[in-house]
């Protein structure tokens, strides 16, 4: 089991002697061997997505994983960017039970922000440090089929709220992602699906990442967040969580709001065969490399039982 440790505060390694650097690299070898040829799905969001230094760290990590023989697949969010775009248009967001009501006009903004601006920023970051990233939405290769999400009222189960073009995943066809991986590309997926009448749906990025990890039979699902991981009521990091403990923490309100779909997706992926699901601190420089290529823990691992 991985042990928690203090987050590093700098990425400068100039003070490390060459022999020590070689030792550090050699310690990564067993992990490189273990995960060579395996798929790693990464949900990219939070500070790692907005802080320039962390953006570069993230891109370098993704490219390094690809170069040592792993197959990273990136799924990105973009809630703050969508909010900024709507504010510029003078459109006030309306939320029900924490979910954005997505009318037709809002959906068109979501599509150009997620599938355009944000996606191309992520692709550009990866390509700038030597990768070969390709942007996709759920429409490409008919990847993500969706239907309208039915939101049940939290106080009255007989009542449903209409939140517009927010989607629930019907199926995921990963063939386009697999084809890109085989050609040495790094897929970058925007969480937009399409319905039976060609309508677009905005889908929670955590849910898309979890479902994609499941259908790709990923070795790992890494979900970058703005916190150390899942914390208990005392604010302490939970390095591991089981389904039973998750239920208890949702019941007593310790896990709430936007963390619920993240945890639910992670648990679903773990139960569906993804070997390791980690919610990690995206504020830690090179958090992904530390999680994958070392025996230290920088977040919470979700277990299937």
User: Tens digits of per-residue pLDDT, 72-86?
Assistant: 999 999 888 998 999
Cβ neighbors of 2 (< 8 A, separation 6 or more) are: 239, 295, 296, 297, 301
Chain-centre distance for alpha carbon 117: 18
pLDDT at 213 exceeding the cut of 90: yes
Select the more confidently predicted residue: 151 or 23. Answer: 151
pLDDT confidence of residue 13: 60
Q: Is the CB of residue 165 less than 8 Å from the CB of residue 199?
A: yes
pLDDT confidence of residue 12: 59
Q: Residue 165's pLDDT band (boundaries 50, 70, 90)? A: very high
Torsional class of 155: left (φ above 0), alpha (ψ -120 to 50), beta (otherwise): alpha
pLDDT at 40 exceeding the cut of 50: yes
Residues 253-302 pLDDT 10s? 888 777 787 888 888 888 888 888 899 988 888 888 888 888 776 788 88
pLDDT at 121 exceeding the cut of 80: yes
Q: Residue 140's pLDDT band (boundaries 50, 70, 90)? A: very high
Q: Is the CB of residue 249 less than 8 Å from the CB of residue 303?
A: no
Instruction: Give Cα separations from 33 to 28, 36, 37, 185 (angstroms).
Output: 9, 5, 9, 20
Mean pLDDT of 177-191: 93
Summary count for the chain: helices (H), strands (E): 10, 18
- Write down the CATH number for the domain with range 38-302: 3.40.1160.10
Q: Which residues are annotated as a binding site?
A: 78-79, 100, 202
Compute, in degrees rounded to 10, the torsion defined by CA atoms 104, 106, 108, 112. -170
Residues 92-104 pLDDT 10s? 878 887 778 899 9
How many residues are listed for the chain in this entry?
Answer: 305
pLDDT at 219 exceeding the cut of 70: yes
Q: Is the CB of residue 193 less than 8 Å from the CB of residue 259?
A: no
Question: Within a 10 A sphere around the Cβ of 247, how many other Cβ atoms?
Answer: 12
Mean pLDDT of 217-223: 93
pLDDT confidence of residue 6: 42
Q: Which residues are annotated as a binding site for substrate?
A: 78-79, 100, 202
Q: Is the CB of residue 191 less than 8 Å from the CB of residue 73?
A: no
pTM, full prediction: 0.88
């Amino acid at each position: 089991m991985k042990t928690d440790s203090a987050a590093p505060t700098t990425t400068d390694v100039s003070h490390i002697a060459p022999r020590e650097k070689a030792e550090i690299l050699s310690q990564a070898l067993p992990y490189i061997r273990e995960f060579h040829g395996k798929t790693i799905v990464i949900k990219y969001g939070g500070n790692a997505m907005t802080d320039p230094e962390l953006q570069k760290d993230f891109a370098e990590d993704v490219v390094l994983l690809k170069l040592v023989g792993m197959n990273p697949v990136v799924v990105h969010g973009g809630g703050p960017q969508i909010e900024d775009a709507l504010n510029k248009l003078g459109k006030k967001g309306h939320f029900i039970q924490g979910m954005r009501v997505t009318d037709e006009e809002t959906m068109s903004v979501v599509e150009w922000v997620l599938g355009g601006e944000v996606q191309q920023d992520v692709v550009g970051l990866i390509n700038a440090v030597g990768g070969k990233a390709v942007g996709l939405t759920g429409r490409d290769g008919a990847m993500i089929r969706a239907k309208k999400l039915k939101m049940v009222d939290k106080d009255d189960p007989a009542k449903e709220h209409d939140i517009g073009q927010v989607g629930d995943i019907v199926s995921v066809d990963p063939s386009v992602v697999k084809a890109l991986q085989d050609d040495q590309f790094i897929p970058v997926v925007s969480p937009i699906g399409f319905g039976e009448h060609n309508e677009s749906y905005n889908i929670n990025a955590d849910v898309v990442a979890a479902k994609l990890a499941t259908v790709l039979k990923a070795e790992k699902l890494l979900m970058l967040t703005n916190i150390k991981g899942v914390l208990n009521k005392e604010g302490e990091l939970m390095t591991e969580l089981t389904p039973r403990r998750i239920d208890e923490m949702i019941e007593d309100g310790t896990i709430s709001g936007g963390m619920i779909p993240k945890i639910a997706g992670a648990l679903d992926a773990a139960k569906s065969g993804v070997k390791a699901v980690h919610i990690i601190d995206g504020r830690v420089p090179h958090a992904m490399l530390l999680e994958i290529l070392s025996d230290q823990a920088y977040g919470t691992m979700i277990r299937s039982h």
